[in-house]
Structure 1
C-alpha cells in the first residue's frame, strides 16, 4: 500500500482538481469501514457522523452477501425477465402511497431527478420548474440548471427556472415568530406561479428535497407541501419529492420524509438514491400510472443499461431486509431524539449554538456569531469540525453560510456514539470560549 503523501500526490496529478477532499489540509486516507466506523491506513478508528450512503452501516454483512451471491449467478440488463426486479419494485411499493405504483430503476440520484424532470415535462407538456433557494438536485446539466446551490456560481438562472424562498423558520424570510409561516411561504410560491403565467410561461414541476440538506438541514413546516401541491396542480404542474438524501427510514417515524407532512399528502413523483444500495449505485423514480403512460406515449423506449440489474436489486432487497430486521427506523427515532436532547442542553450552555433542528438521524446545528442577527459563524464551524477530526470524529458543515453542522450518520449510530460526539463538542466549544475571553485587550500599564 502506498503511503498517504504518495496517494495524495497521485490524486493531485491524475484526478480533476474540482473533485474536492474532506479536510483538504490534512485529508484522511481510509482503507476499510464497518458499521458507523471507518479506519485509516494505520488502523485508527474514526466515528462517521455524515455518511448517509452507508445507510445500514458500512459493509453490512447481509448486503455484501446478497451482492456476492447474485454476482456469482447473473448480472445483466433488465430486458430479460428476472424476479429481483419485480420483487424489489413490489417491496418498494409497500412503503409508498398506493398511487405511486410505477417504478423506473437507475444508477444515481442525479439520473433519477433527470428522469423526473423528463416525466413531468412529458406529462404536463409544460417546461418551467420551481425550486427552493439553495436547493441541490444533482450534477447533470439539466439538474445544475435547477440547483441554485450550483448555478448561482456558474452561468446563472435560466428563464424557465423560478426560485422560491427556503421555508426556513430560523433564518428565512418568515421566522418562528410569524403568525402563519406555512401560509406565508406557500404564498411566495403562489406569487411566483402568477408572475410566470403573466409572462406566458407554464409550470411543469415543483421540485423539493423533502428535507432540504445543503440548504442547512431544514425541516419544512407541516402543511407546507399540501399548500404548494394545490398551487402547482392548479397551474397544471406536478409535485416532485426528492428523497435522495433522506428516504428509507432516516427520519425514523416515517419511511419517507415527505410523510412527515401528514397522511393526506402524496407527491406525483418520488426520486430516491444514496441510501438505497448502502454504497452500491442504485436509484429509482416512483410515479403514478398516468404519468408513466404519458411518458410511454412518446413511443420512445426508456432504457438504462445498469438500472434494475439483478445485483443492484438483490442489494436493494437486502437493505430493506436489514432496515426491518434491525428495527432501524425505531432506532433512528430513539438515538435521534437522544442526540437532539444532548445538543439542546449544549445550546443552553453555549451561545454560539443558535438552533438545533432535525428529525430522526437527520439533524442540523446552526452556529451563530450573534443571537440577535443570527449571523452565520462560518469560521467557527470550520474550526470545530477540524478539531473534531483530530478527535477521530467526522462531521461536516452545510447551509448557505457553511455554518450548520450536519448529522446524518449510518442508521446503526448508537446512544454512546451520540454522547461521545456531544461531549467532545462541548469540550471544544468551551475551549473556544476560553480562548475568546483570553484575547489581549490593549496594554495595561
Structure 2
C-alpha cells in the first residue's frame, strides 16, 4: 500500500511496532498524521490546516521554495564531502562570518546541534587543558552521551550529575532566587556562577567551559537579564575556561533586534565559541561551530584530523546560503521584531484578563507564557497548561509547553508567522482561558451549594 494512502490508524500501529516507545509523539492520546506543510502551516491527511507556533526548525517557513530549489539544483550537480575544493563551503563560511563578531572567524560544519555542542566541548577541553563544565540548571544541549552529561534536564532522570559537571542557577527573574524586584539580577546571577567556579576550584577541579543557551528554552523560555553573560564570562575566564553560546534554538534573527541572541547581552560581549543548528538549514541536517583562531589552532595542534562525512557538503552549504538569502530578501529579522512585539502586547493584555497567566516574557519570535495556580506562590499550572495545549490543537493551533514545571507555553514559530496569525492564536487562547475560568466558577458554586451555602 502506498504510504500516502495508508490510514492514520495503520501508520500508528506500524510505528508502535517498529519504533521505540521512547521516540514519543506530540499529542500521544490523539496524534496527528501530517502529510504536507508550507510557510507557517501544516496539513494532516484529511487536509485540515494547522497554524504552527512551535517549529523553529522550519526557520524561514516549511518547505520554502527557494531553499527546496537550492537543494534540488545542487543535488543534480554534485554532492560529496568537504575534502574536495568547492565554492559553496567557503561562500557559506564567508556569509556566516559577516553576521558574527570579527573574532569568531573559523568554522566547522556538521549535521546537528548535538554534534555542534559535542565538538564545542572537545574544542574547549583541548584549548584549556581542563575538563570540567559549568552549565545552567534545567539546560539541554543535545542527545549525545557527552551532552546528556551536561544537560540537567536529562541527567537528573538518568545517571545523575557527574563530578566534573557544575550547575549554576537558571537566570530566571520570575521564578529564580533573584526576581524582577531585585536591584541587579544580572550581577546576582553572575555571582552565583562565580561561587560555582570557586567551589569547583577549591575541590581541585579545573573549568574548561561554561555552556549556556543564549535564551534558555527547555528551562522555560527564559530571557537572561542584560549584563549577565559578560559577568558570568568574567568568572569563567578567570578560571581559564571558555564561554560557549548555544544558539541552536534562537539564532538567525529570531530575536529580531539582533541576528544572534547573545548580542542581546551587549555589543562588547563576544563568546569564545558559538554553536548553531536547527534553523540553520530550515529542516536540512546542517549545523555549525564558530570559534576563534586561537581555539582552532589549539585543536589543530593535536595532529588529529577533524572530518565529518556530510558536514559542509555542497548541498548542505547551498541550503545554508539559501536560508540566509531568504532571511535577507524577505526581511525576516525585522519581521520577527515587528510581529513579536505585537504578539507580546496581545499576550500582556491577556495577562490582565486572566489570573492564570503569571508572566509574559520573550523577545522577537521567542515568547513564553508562564501559567500559575496562585499569584503568591507562583506554583506551576502544569495540568492546566497541558489542557490548554490540547484544546488549542482541537482549534488547529500547534503549541507546546516547556519549563521545569511544564507550565510555560512556548512560541517559536517559523519566522513568516504573521500579525494575523498572532491575533487569531491569542483570540483562541483568550476564549479557552475564559471557558476554563467559567468552569472553575461553576464547580465552586456547585460545591458551595452542596455544603448548604446560598
User: Where on the TM-score scale, by shorter chain, does this alignment land: which range?
Assistant: over 0.9
Gap regions ≥5 residues in structure 1: none
TM-superposed CA distance for 1:253, in Å, is: 0.9
Instruction: Look up the match of 2:15.
Output: 11
Q: Establish whether residue 197 from structure 1 lines up as the match of residue 201 from structure 2.
A: yes
301, 321, 325: which is aligned to 2:325? Answer: 321
Q: How does 1:31-430 map to 2 (within 5 A)?
A: 31-430=35-434
Instruction: Look up the match of 2:447.
Output: 441
TM-superposed CA distance for 1:258, in Å, is: 0.1
Give, in whole Å, the separation in 2 of the partners of 1:269 and 1:262.
Answer: 17
TM-superposed CA distance for 1:247, in Å, is: 0.2
Q: Provide Cα deviations, 1:180-214, integer angstroms capped at 9, x if missing partner.
A: 21111111110111111111110000000000000
Give, in whole Å, the separation in 1 of the partners of 2:190 and 2:283.
Answer: 36
TM-superposed CA distance for 1:178, in Å, is: 1.3
SS state at 2:98 partner: helix
Give, in whole Å, the separation in 2 of the partners of 1:199 and 1:371.
Answer: 40
SS state at 2:167 partner: strand
TM-score by length of 2: 0.98
SS state at 2:258 partner: coil
20, 25, 44: which is aligned to 2:24? Answer: 20
Give, in whole Å, the separation in 1 of the partners of 2:330 and 2:75.
Answer: 25
SS state at 1:357 partner: strand
Q: Which moved more, 1:303-312 or 1:179-188?
A: 179-188
TM-superposed CA distance for 1:177, in Å, is: 1.1
Give, in whole Å, the separation in 2 of the partners of 1:178 and 1:277.
Answer: 40
TM-score by length of 1: 1.00
Give, in whole Å, the separation in 1 of the partners of 2:186 and 2:42.
Answer: 41
How well do the aligned residues superpose, as a CA RMSD in angstroms?
Answer: 0.6
Give, in whole Å, the separation in 2 of the partners of 1:172 and 1:290.
Answer: 36
- Structure 1 consecutive aligned stretches of length 4 or more whose deviation exceeds 6 Å: none
TM-superposed CA distance for 1:444, in Å, is: 5.7
